[in-house]
Amino acid sequence: MRGRPSLMSDGSGCSQPKIDFDDGHAAVLLAHTRAVVRAAVEGRSTDGVLPAALHDAMAYGLFVTLRRQTQLRACRGQWGEPLSPLGPLLVDVAYATAVGDPRFPRITLEEVPLLSIDLSVMHSPCVIDGIGDDAVAAIEVGLHGLVIAHPQGRGLLLPNVATEAGWDAPTFLDHLAHKACLPVETWRTDPRTRLMTFQTRLMTVLPDEGEFDIDDLSASERDQLFGSVTQKLGAEVESGVERDPRDSPPALTRRYSGRVGLFVVTTTGISTLALAESRSLIELAGAAAGAIRETAAQKSSDAGTVARLAVLSQPIDLCADDYPDRHALLGDRVIVVRHGGQCGYVLPGRGPVRRDAVGEALGIMQLDPAQWRAADGESGTVLTALRAHVISVSQPIVAEVARAPAVAGRFYPDSPDAMNDALDGYLGVPRDVKERANFRAVMLPHAGWAYCGVTIGQALSRIDVPNRVVVIGPKHTPDGPLLSVASHASWRTPGGEVPVDTQFVKQLCDAVPDLACEPLAHRAEHGCEVLLPFLHRANPSLKVVPIVMGVCPFEQTEGIARSLAACIAASEGATLLVISSDMNHFAPDAETRRLDRLALDAMLAGDAARLYRVCTQNRISMCGLLAAVTVMQALSLSSAVDTELIDYRTSADAGGDAQRVVGYAGVVLR
């Protein structure tokens, strides 16, 4: 990024002239931008030139942003004094955007017509005189972009970033500091901070070609797709593919020009991936069902019914020369590898920490990066990244039978008497005497009670537990979908049954499109089960809502948080949100305490984005991180989050190996 400090030393105010473009100019500039992007991807110089009036217009700076549907694919820019002619500047920036954004896999030729393009021409830079409240007062969200300069980092965010995310000015500044890899409080307190606003003329063009978009499927169409796979699993289908049923909606029978896929897992554990070009979803459903029946026949087993269904879209063929740096953000994608006539795949991970999904995909084919580079571009080795959209059924929820305990007798006692004796002990541990209060949320650990029971008891002794408790924890097992709410009527404990709030479950499923209501993800999961006897003891009238969260981008947690907050606001009675999470795992005691202090400092500041950044950048294996940031964001939508650390300890405090410990914290959130 060009543009250093002459701006930051200019305290004279808004001195740069605004450059106006009419709609005709915008169309020409955007068409030229796409032509430059295509030329860059093809490895050649662009043939076209802008009209002289546009080519020679002086510009302060510009950014080119490429998106594929809602997903950012690349963004680069140049800005600063002296002014530059628009024509050469646009070529430089568009070329750099097409091939040079190191955060993402390089743009492929197949993608060029599928990209929307934003062209942001910058103008009217203005240095902000002051930090903190002075900075907030100088910012008009929707008009201003922001620049931060500090000895330890620099960053820029365009005006539309704040408007698209719904941020206010302080939140905009928080994210700006995050972009610059600075502590979030830098803009508030550090006098070395220099801030600047600027404005843009934003021009946008939609893709030249369309592709499958999961948002085009209505809830009923998703139900029909789920039902189609289920029906075909029990049907004898010649060659594995049925004709499109005449009563299927056009969205399911349409043949998409690009590659689309289905990933299916059955209740008997058989899985398959069907990926093809110019096929309809109904045809893919038939192909997937046929493959599952064939596998079941080979194993002499039952095919089962559909447990998990995901639509795969937005394929990106990966370049070996980009590995590993430009593939670091692909942990939430399905990676398909084809080599020597064989095909394998790696599914999205179950934790928030970055993972080498591409390396895992190479490993299942017993390939190393050097072999991939040697074969890249040949028919022998192709790796493709795809987005996965889990299909959940929106039909009325039919509650399943009670869920049986999975870890009783291992994590906690399995007899009623022994369990109640243990609860008496943990809840009777001496503590600072304070009255119980109506907290909005609490974070509790979920290890064996011998290690974390005291922490659970200390935290819950501060809380007046209401009749509805939503427990959100990580996904420790591969069973079921990545985002799931329990479909059971109740959960059994050695001390009795705890009913599930099925009405609230239905509200959540209606509000969160990717949330599946099913039992598999909860069958062997301990994150909620370990806490349930404590919660039930605190309120025998309790109804619970167990949720597990697998890996997802931070941006997805924002949407889940909004839906969760809306459901709570629309429901009668109080709701307690429980974050089920241990802290860092399996480092020596001193190192675990150091890492946990970093995470807890961020959490105690009430800053979800900071907590996520601290954990991912420092590789802190806080297993319930996504649950924590989701809950914190949901709470912040109604008021600021006030947190308090009640108890912290590690497994070493209970006699565990001090060289390989797990941290446990009890935190209450008002």
Enumerate the H helices of 116-155 as residue ranges: 133-137
Of 604, 579, 647, nearest to 430 (Cα)? 647
Q: What is the CA radius of gyration of the chain?
A: 27
Query: Six-digit token pair at 192?
Result: 């070395």
DSSP states of 1-18 as a string?
Answer: ----TTTTT--S---SPP
Instruction: Give CA–CA dist 252/229, Å, rounded.
Output: 12
pLDDT tens string 224-258: 898 888 888 875 433 334 444 556 788 899 988 78
Which regions of 267-348 does DSSP assign to beta strands (E)? 271-277, 306-317, 334-339, 342-346
Given a cut of 50, the residues of the chain with pLDDT beneath it are 1-17, 236-244, 350-354, 394-399, 433
Instruction: Give CA–CA dist 475/463, Å, rounded.
Output: 26
Strands 381-390 and 585-587 turn out to be unpaired
Query: Six-digit token pair at 511?
Result: 């509000």
User: Which residues have a Cβ under 8 Å from the Cβ of 617 and sit 6 or more positions away?
Assistant: none
- At residue 116, what are phi and psi to the nearest 5 degrees? -85, 150
Q: What is the pTM of this model?
A: 0.62
pLDDT for 436: 78
pLDDT tens string 2-27: 443 344 444 344 434 457 899 999 99
pLDDT for 244: 45
Cα dihedral: 373, 375, 380, 384 (round 10): 30
pLDDT for 346: 84
Determine contact, residues 127/193, Cβ cutoff 8 Å.
no
pLDDT for 649: 97
Determine contact, residues 488/401, Cβ cutoff 8 Å.
yes
Determine contact, residues 475/550, Cβ cutoff 8 Å.
yes
Q: Is the C-alpha dihedral spanning 167, 169, 172, 178 positive or negative? A: negative
pLDDT for 178: 87
